[in-house]
Amino acid sequence: MESAELFMSKHIFVTGGVVSSLGKGLTSASIALLLEQRGLTVKMQKLDPYINVDPGTMSPYQHGEVYVLDDGSETDLDLGHYERFTRSPLTRDSNYTTGQIYLSVIEKERRGEFLGKTVQVIPHITNEIKSVIQCLADDETDIIITELGGTVGDIESQPFLEAIRQFSQDVGKENCLYIHLTLVPYLKAAGELKTKPTQHSVGQLREIGIQPDILICRTEQELSRDDREKISLFCNVPLEAVIQELDMEFSIYEVPIALREHKLDDLITDRLGLSAPEANLDQWKAMLHDLRNPQHEVNIAVVGKYAEHKDAYKSIYESIDHAGISHNTQIRIIPIHSELVEREGPDRLLAGFDGILVPGGFGERGINGKVEAIRFARERNIPYFGICLGMQTACIEFARNVVGLTDAHSTEFDKNTQHAVICLLDEQKQVTNKGGTMRLGSQPCVLADSSVAQECYGTTHVDERHRHRYEFNHLYQSQFTAHGMIVSGSSPDGLLPEIIEIPDHAWFVAVQFHPEFKSKPTKPHPLFQGFVGAALKNRLAVGEAAGESRKRLFEEFKEPESFEA
Ligand code: GLN
């Protein structure tokens, strides 16, 4: 970035210190929500210091789910928080990694764009970082929030910190605000909160030349005025800008309200010289009220390969909860390891659930456990929702156990199957690179009349996000229909079945796309709503007495042991 073109947009940089997993993504999303509800236009971005060129190829074990945007970018799961909390339009420019930054600089170097100069971290890498921040600025956007992944002090973070330091020189100090999130741990032995790690972390930032404007202190105990004064003094941040963010026992959706109570949004608008009315949080508060006051309870099993990893199916769990809010229902989500179902059979593991969901996934491990779980749901009339691989396995199960094609499979798992009910798309056959090469992003889908899908959505055309290589082989469609499984949604040319359902079942719907990327707490996804509604109906039908015995069953339920990655 030579000299920044001056747009109206102001910039907020969110950094983190002391430890990782402080919830920077949630905090950034909460800030964005507060600002949006004041009528401001906000864009969000995450810069990730890891070297991988895209998060799409990273293991869910290490990195949680891959979050897919409308434009097909595979991004960090924090972008899911951004979309669930805000209206910020996310695109490919909303997530950059060190790998992407370096790749772009190296490609420029290969094209001779640096005219033989020595290519260095400063200025070439830092310029590239600044340009990806600046590219979000325009005259329609009031505020751009850029969250920096990692922790201050990490080697990988250095160029990013240097770039955001330089950034305020380019666009003017009055247009930038630095928010630093730290941990103030409570030491049981000493019986007190410790501010030293925060002091050190801010010290590191100041060494780089960044003086944070606002400190958000994550803590499990209330900060006293003394604690805040100490932090203020040692960190050179005014007392009113030392804000506590207590652990939210109940729900992450309470974070914006807690930050509002500490007037964080007033502080931000004042500092950035923006005038905006008070935040209107009525809708958000109404959602929280419903969340806090459920009238019912249902149990949903999520049968997947990464059952023990809470971030691997993050958006699915969130979407189930959103649907629960809209049905005034508290949902107990129990992840069940598909390999466990494979070993033990579904009878004990899945007894007592009001609904069963099989999420997306890759690789053969645990596939037969998923097939068994789906058979259990289908045969016992338990509401079933299949997502992506959960649709493909539903087709395999149906082909094997209902249509009678006993060796039916997906060519992902058995290249030589006689009945490839799931097979590779033609466009995928040539692909050898792993990153960003699947059928990705938003695709249109036409819904069949009188289908459950159409009834849920209340419309005939929808757009949903995809991330897969394999597809239901439409050559089997008429055989499936004859046996009672219909295609209720397909691509507009009719060639790609996108939704299947069994009309003669309590609720059996499976989709090739990922509806979980389009659900918000204030606007649950129609299919999740339909699924949870059916699970609730199921629960109410079996009555409270059965509910009680189920409760016991869950209390006895042991966490499954870990399986290999
Ligand atoms: N492995 C399957 C495919 O590539 C399903 C992918 C998914 O569930 N996201 O088609």
Q: Whose CA is nearest to atom 1 of ligand 1?
A: 362
**What is the distance in A from the centroid of ligand 1 to the CA of 316?**
15
CA distance 266 to 248: 22
How far CA 347 is from CA of 1, 307, 380, in Å, comes to 61, 18, 11
Among the listed residues 11, 322, 419, 514, the single catalytic one is 514
516 in catalytic set: yes
Residues 6+ apart with CB under 8 A from 330: 294, 296, 297, 298, 324
pLDDT in tens, 105-163: 999 999 999 988 999 999 999 999 999 999 999 999 999 999 999 999 899 999 999 99
**What is the distance in A from the centroid of ligand 1 to the CA of 512?**
8
372 in catalytic set: no
Cβ-contact 160, 47 below 8 angstroms: yes
Q: What is the pLDDT of residue 104?
A: 96
Cβ-contact 303, 269 below 8 angstroms: no
**What is the distance in A from the centroid of ligand 1 to the CA of 412?**
9
With a pLDDT cut of 70, the percent of the chain lying above it is 92
Q: Check the CA dihedral 21-27-32-37 and report its sign.
A: positive
235 in catalytic set: no
Q: Which of 237-251, 296-310, 371-385 has the highest mean pLDDT?
A: 371-385
Q: Is the pLDDT of residue 537 over 80?
A: yes
How far CA 467 is from CA of 56, 218, 494, in Å, comes to 10, 35, 19
pLDDT-derived band at 547, boundaries 50, 70, 90: low
How far CA 315 is from CA of 133, 286, 350, 396, in Å, comes to 26, 22, 22, 25
Q: Mean of the pLDDT values across residues 264-286?
A: 96
CA distance 389 to 304: 10
Q: What is the pLDDT of residue 19?
A: 84
What is the layout of strands, in order, in the sheet containing 420-424?
409-410, 420-424, 470-472
362 lines ligand 1 (CB under 6 A): yes
Q: Per the confidence metrics, is the pTM higher than 0.85? A: yes
pLDDT-derived band at 560, boundaries 50, 70, 90: very low
Nearest atom in ligand 1 to 359's CA: 8
φ, ψ (nearest 5 deg) of residue 313: -120, 35
474 lines ligand 1 (CB under 6 A): no
pLDDT in tens, 343-400: 999 999 999 999 999 999 998 899 999 999 999 999 999 999 999 999 999 999 999 9
Pocket test for ligand 1, best of 437, 469, 516, 517 (most atoms within 8 A of CB): 469
CA distance 237 to 524: 40
Nearest atom in ligand 1 to 362's CA: 1
